[in-house]
């Protein structure tokens, strides 16, 4: 059996490695992008079916104003990076509008963030992808591909933080790809972003501590 990293596409081939993936998955990380083994998926052809089901489920559910604001803000950034200034400006205006009518989030915790990220992956991205496919919007489809990978990594990091607490970020740095938003925890950023393939220079150090 082969297991694939949903972030960078790295493949763990049990036959070549000589070890069952599930035996090591809990304490193993992707050698390319650092994603935990727990997010790897077995190589099967069933993914598109799941996505289709999720898209259907989404059609009967409301997306909150805050989620719309975040989505529009991300789309604005995506358009900006593709030199689509007019579209970027429109998405930015939408993001400002949805933020202004969004109720203030109070008492939210890490578990709520994780739940939101899961909803994005299971419902919102598939719905966006379906809409983009209908109008053949290749730019948005590309943003969906990047966004899903980045969100999957973010969820893996939030889950790890929930398990390990602040110790997880001690003696290390947090790097964010300024192009796609991919987050990497480590001493140095990866040579190439595993999602959008830009070089290490496009990563910004945003947080992280080093003990004295
Ligand atoms: Fe990137």
Q: For residue 82, report the distance from its CA to the centre of ligand 1, in Å.
A: 13
Report the pLDDT value the prediction gives residue 48, as an integer from 0 to 100.
46
Q: Hey, what CATH topology would domain 1-44 get? A: Rubrerythrin, domain 2 (2.20.28)
The yes-or-no answer to whether 1-44 and 170-212 have a common fold is yes
Report the pLDDT value the prediction gives residue 45, as an integer from 0 to 100.
59
Q: For residue 106, report the distance from its CA to the centre of ligand 1, in Å.
A: 31
Q: For residue 188, report the distance from its CA to the centre of ligand 1, in Å.
A: 15
Residue with structure tokens 């080093």? Answer: 210
Report the pLDDT value the prediction gives residue 53, as an integer from 0 to 100.
52
Q: Hey, what CATH topology would domain 170-212 get? A: Rubrerythrin, domain 2 (2.20.28)
Delimit the domains of the chain by residue range: 1-44, 170-212
Report the pLDDT value the prediction gives residue 50, as an integer from 0 to 100.
47
Q: For residue 22, report the distance from its CA to the centre of ligand 1, in Å.
A: 28
Q: Convert 6-34 to b/e letters by CB count within 10 Å (16 or more is b).
A: bbbebebeeeeeeeebeeebeeebbeebb
> Is this structure's pTM higher than 0.75?
no
User: Which residues of the chain, if any, have pLDDT below 50?
Assistant: 47-51, 58, 60, 208-212
């Amino acid at each position: 059996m082969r297991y694939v990293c949903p972030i960078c596409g790295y493949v763990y081939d049990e036959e070549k490695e000589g070890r069952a993936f599930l035996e090591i998955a809990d304490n193993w990380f992707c050698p390319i992008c650092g994603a935990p083994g727990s997010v790897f998926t077995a190589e099967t052809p069933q993914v598109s079916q799941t996505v289709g089901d999720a898209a259907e489920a989404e059609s009967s559910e409301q997306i909150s104003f805050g989620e719309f604001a975040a989505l529009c803000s991300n789309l604005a950034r995506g358009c900006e990076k593709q030199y689509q200034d007019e579209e970027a400006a429109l998405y930015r205006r939408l993001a400002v509008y949805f933020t202004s009518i969004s109720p203030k989030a109070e008492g939210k915790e890490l578990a709520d963030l994780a739940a939101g990220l899961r909803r994005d992956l299971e419902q919102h991205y598939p719905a966006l992808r379906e809409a983009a496919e209908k109008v053949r919007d290749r730019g948005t489809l590309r943003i969906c591909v990047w966004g899903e990978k980045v969100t999957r990594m973010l969820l893996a990091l939030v889950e790890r933080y929930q398990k390990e607490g602040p110790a997880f970020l001690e003696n290390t740095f947090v790097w964010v790809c300024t192009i796609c938003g991919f987050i990497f925890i480590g001493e140095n950023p990866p040579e190439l972003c595993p999602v959008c393939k830009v070089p290490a220079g496009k990563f910004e150090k945003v947080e992280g501590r080093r003990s004295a």
